[in-house]
């Protein structure tokens, strides 16, 4: 690997520059693309995400592989991924070496999955026995790749608002660059091979994070879920698979990728299903505004009152309150608060971000107090 023709005679390393391996300081204070509160239909769509699952040819799937195998995958992937700019600069973090608080911070920022953060791969494997990493682009954390999650590679590109095509184009371009450096497991008959059969084929999953307070207040969320299930769409919570809806935020995604091209999946979601859901939510909101204006104003202002005055705030309640205030801002019922600031608050009130900002570990009661204090302080500054 040495390059004797280097002028200064130092051993050259033609591998791309490595990105530190440490969590950037004060990451918790930066904004992320998915909370930017911009883009099309951002009154209803928080963010759009394209995710691609890939595996390396000739390597055991993650749940079958030994730690030594996974370490080889990690190294092979790192070399290629570090050479692809995922933002102004890349950050590579090896999670089997990182403390729980760091993993939790990444989860709260939607950079890694819940399973990846917890570090439980099957019944026996613990976090430090599971070589795995995430690499993401700074400063906006728009693109990220998990290495050795359920699949060897899980690439995601997130865009604010309704922008599935843009997210997909960007993910597709990154995927091409990765494929130029790594040999993917691919079957001419089935397409890209993945650990879970639901991802076989394109390996692509599209999802959007929707804010549906209007439909929830109108009691129509179950209807949306049933309709989604009929169209093979999954409705999930704020932190994806297995998580609960948090303050009226729901993740809608396609469930199967086999037998459909990316273009078909995109057309279905972006042209047909999402415009309908968005319209349905907007109509519910308009009905609230027209038929129950006083109740709506009361609900929104009470939420502001509690956020301004409470001395103890749990994360679930805070998200519910922020969700209601977000609705009020979108409908013009409140004009003293801006959505971007609300979104930052949504991230700040998460348990790990809260403790990072406070600079100390806190038990549950302490977190409730600190959360109330932080919310009060931020709202007062708006």
Asked if 364 interacts with its own copies (CB under 8 A), we say no
In angstroms, give the least distance from the CB of 360 to its own copies.
17
Asked if 302 interacts with its own copies (CB under 8 A), we say yes
Asked if 304 interacts with its own copies (CB under 8 A), we say yes
Closer residue to its own copies (CB): 237 or 366: 366
Residue 159 token pair: 């865009």
Closer residue to its own copies (CB): 189 or 294: 294
In angstroms, give the least distance from the CB of 315 to its own copies.
15
Interacting residue with its own copies among 118, 301, 373, 378 (CB under 8 A): 301
In angstroms, give the least distance from the CB of 247 to its own copies.
18
Residue 43 token pair: 């009154």
Asked if 377 interacts with its own copies (CB under 8 A), we say no
Asked if 297 interacts with its own copies (CB under 8 A), we say yes
In angstroms, give the least distance from the CB of 298 to its own copies.
4
Would you call 222 exposed, middle or buried from its count of C-beta atoms within 10 A (0-12, 13-18, 19+)? exposed
Asked whether 268 and 201 are in contact (CB, 8 A), the reply is no
Closer residue to its own copies (CB): 25 or 365: 365
Q: DSSP 3-state assignment of 98?
A: coil
Max CA separation in the chain (angstroms): 78
HSE, CB side, 13 Å, CA atoms: give it for residue 36: 19
- Supply the DSSP string of 303-364, one letter for each residue: HHHHHHH-S---HHHHHHHHHHHHHHHHTTS--SS-HHHHHHHHHHTSHHHHHHHHTS---H
List, in sequence order, every residue forming a beta bridge with 160; answer none if it has no partner.
47
Q: DSSP 3-state assignment of 227?
A: helix
Interacting residue with its own copies among 312, 316, 361, 382 (CB under 8 A): 312
Interacting residue with its own copies among 29, 276, 298, 338 (CB under 8 A): 298
Q: How many CB atoms are closer than 10 A to CB 138?
A: 16
Asked whether 251 and 236 are in contact (CB, 8 A), the reply is yes
Interacting residue with its own copies among 189, 291, 311, 360 (CB under 8 A): 311
Closer residue to its own copies (CB): 69 or 297: 297
Stretch that binds its own copies, among 49-57, 83-91, 176-184, 295-303 (CB under 8 A): 295-303
Question: To 5 degrees, how large is the angle CA 183–CA 185–CA 187?
Answer: 125
Asked if 372 interacts with its own copies (CB under 8 A), we say yes
In angstroms, give the least distance from the CB of 287 to its own copies.
18
Asked if 295 interacts with its own copies (CB under 8 A), we say yes
Closer residue to its own copies (CB): 166 or 297: 297
Stretch that binds its own copies, among 172-180, 186-194, 263-271, 293-301 (CB under 8 A): 293-301
Stretch that binds its own copies, among 126-134, 157-165, 178-186, 299-307 (CB under 8 A): 299-307
Phi, psi dihedrals of residue 230, rounded to the nearest 5°: -60, -30
Asked if 335 interacts with its own copies (CB under 8 A), we say no
Asked whether 49 and 57 are in contact (CB, 8 A), the reply is no
* C-alpha–C-alpha distance, residues 30 and 126, integer Å: 30
Annotate 244-273 with b (16+ C-beta within 10 A) or e (fewer). ebbbbbbbbbbebbeebebeebbebbbeeb
In angstroms, give the least distance from the CB of 370 to its own copies.
12
Stretch that binds its own copies, among 30-38, 91-99, 227-235, 302-310 (CB under 8 A): 302-310
Asked if 369 interacts with its own copies (CB under 8 A), we say yes
HSE, CB side, 13 Å, CA atoms: give it for residue 292: 13
- Tell me the C-alpha to C-alpha distance, in Å, between residue 158 and each of 22, 236, 312: 22, 17, 33
Binders of its own copies: how many residues, by CB under 8 A?
18
Interacting residue with its own copies among 190, 305, 364, 382 (CB under 8 A): 305
Interface positions with its own copies (CB under 8 A): 294-295, 297-298, 301-302, 304-312, 365, 369, 372
């Amino acid at each position: 690997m040495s390059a004797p023709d280097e002028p200064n005679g130092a051993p050259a390393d033609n591998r791309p520059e490595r990105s530190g391996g440490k969590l950037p300081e004060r990451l918790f204070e930066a904004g992320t693309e998915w909370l930017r509160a911009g883009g099309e239909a951002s009154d209803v769509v928080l963010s759009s995400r394209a995710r691609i699952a890939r595996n390396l040819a000739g390597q055991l799937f993650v749940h079958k592989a030994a730690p030594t195998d996974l370490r080889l995958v990690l190294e092979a992937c790192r070399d290629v991924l570090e050479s692809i700019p995922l933002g102004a600069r890349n950050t590579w973090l090896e999670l089997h070496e990182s403390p729980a608080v760091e993993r939790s911070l990444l989860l709260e920022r939607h950079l890694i999955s819940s399973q990846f953060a917890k570090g439980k791969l099957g019944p026996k494997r613990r976090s430090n026995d599971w070589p795995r990493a995430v690499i993401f682009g700074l400063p906006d954390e728009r693109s990220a790749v998990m290495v050795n999650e359920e699949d060897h590679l899980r690439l995601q590109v997130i865009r604010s608002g309704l922008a599935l095509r843009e997210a997909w184009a960007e993910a597709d371009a990154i995927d091409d660059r990765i494929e130029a450096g790594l040999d993917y497991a691919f079957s001419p008959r089935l397409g890209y091979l993945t650990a879970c059969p639901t991802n076989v084929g394109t390996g692509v999953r599209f999802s959007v994070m929707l804010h549906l307070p209007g439909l929830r207040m109108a009691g129509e969320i179950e209807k949306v879920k049933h309709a989604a299930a009929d169209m093979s769409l999954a409705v999930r919570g704020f932190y994806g698979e297995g998580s609960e809806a948090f303050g009226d935020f729901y993740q809608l995604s396609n469930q199967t990728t086999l037998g459909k091209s990316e273009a078909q999946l995109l057309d279905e979601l972006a042209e047909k299903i999402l415009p309908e859901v968005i319209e349905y939510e907007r109509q519910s909101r308009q009905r609230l505004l027209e038929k129950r204006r006083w109740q709506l104003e009361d609900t929104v202002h009470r939420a502001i009152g509690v956020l301004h005055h409470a001395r103890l705030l749990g994360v679930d309640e805070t998200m519910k309150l922020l969700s209601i205030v977000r609705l009020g801002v979108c409908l013009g019922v409140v004009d003293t608060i801006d959505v971007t600031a609300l979104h930052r608050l949504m991230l700040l009130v998460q348990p790990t971000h809260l403790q990072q900002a406070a600079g100390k570990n806190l038990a549950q009661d302490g977190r409730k107090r600190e959360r109330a204090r932080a919310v009060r302080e931020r709202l007062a500054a708006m």
